[in-house]
A = this chain, B = another copy of it.
Amino acid sequence: MAGELVATQDCSSCPIRHRAVCARCDEDELSKLNAIKFYKTYPAGQTIAMRGDALNIVASVVAGTATLERVIEDGRTQMVGLLLPSDFIGRPGRATLQYDVTAVSDVTLCCFQRKPFEALLVDVPHLQQRLLEMALDELDAARDWMLLLGRKTAREKIASLLMLIAKRTVHPDGKVMGDTTRLELPISRETMANFLGLTIETVSRQFTGLRKDGVIELDGNRIVRIPDLEGLLVETGDDSDGGTLF
């Protein structure tokens, strides 16, 4: 596992506190977490870990975007997880990794040594509980994603992806979407294709299609404006309960 060691910081300032493992810890527990914690950064494009690697850390994403991918020998690739800030990597009780983990943008991870982390789990029940909650959330997300992969059309897939990114985009003012209709796509066309089970050509065509139909506006190829969110939802065939896809 490559990546540059950055610094050991105090967990109380950990940017992921709001959603990740340390959110409910008291001072004592925090100091224990701090003792086994360190930060690493990876440049965009770098492989963070490969399928089959022994994984002796667990980590939270602090900044940037990473992906989990399954690859068949012939090169076909399916993304199986999109890791945005506050998402968790790795699992207690599993020594080896099932997927390739890749940094899509520059990524900062908040890492914990796996062994002592697991030991801590035994002492701190609410950590275990938090991990279970996160695993169940991921499971729900994975299942919504399965609906998308198995039954949605290319256009619906793109629309769902845009909605997903919108929901997970935190604007400088701290608000989440709704107020703004401007999105920065954190991933390339290829990454989207691997996410959606499409080819990059189809992704590209769908974007131009949506643009020509006036559903979205493109500014460069990473900025999307969605004037009429409702219109997009209609495209999505969205279950409107919002789903749990991240």
Contact = CB atoms under 8 A, between A and B. Distances in A.
Contacts of A81: 143
Nearest to A51: B241
B99 A136 contact: no
Contacts of A149: 146, 149-150, 197
Q: How many copies does the complex hold?
A: 2
A146 B194 CA distance: 11
A218 interface: no
Given A74-B237, A91-B136, A237-B72, A145 B147 contact: no
A119 interface: no
A164 to B, nearest CB: 15
Contacts of A5: none
Given A98-B244, A122-B125, A139 B135 contact: yes
A138 interface: yes
Interface in A147-197: 147, 149-152, 196-197
Interface residues of A, number: 43
A230 interface: no
Interface string A89-125: 0011110001100000000000000000000001001
A92 to B, nearest CB: 7
Nearest to A139: B139
A154 to B, nearest CB: 12
A224 interface: no
B244 A151 contact: no
Given A98-B244, A125-B128, A129-B128, A70 B147 contact: yes
A132 to B, nearest CB: 5
Given A125-B122, A237-B73, A239-B72, A99 B143 contact: yes
Given A73-B239, A78-B146, 4 more contacts: A70-B146, A78-B151, A135-B135, A139-B139
Interface of A: 68, 70, 72-74, 76-78, 80-81, 91-94, 98-99, 122, 125, 128-129, 131-133, 135-136, 138-140, 142-147, 149-152, 196-197, 237, 239, 244
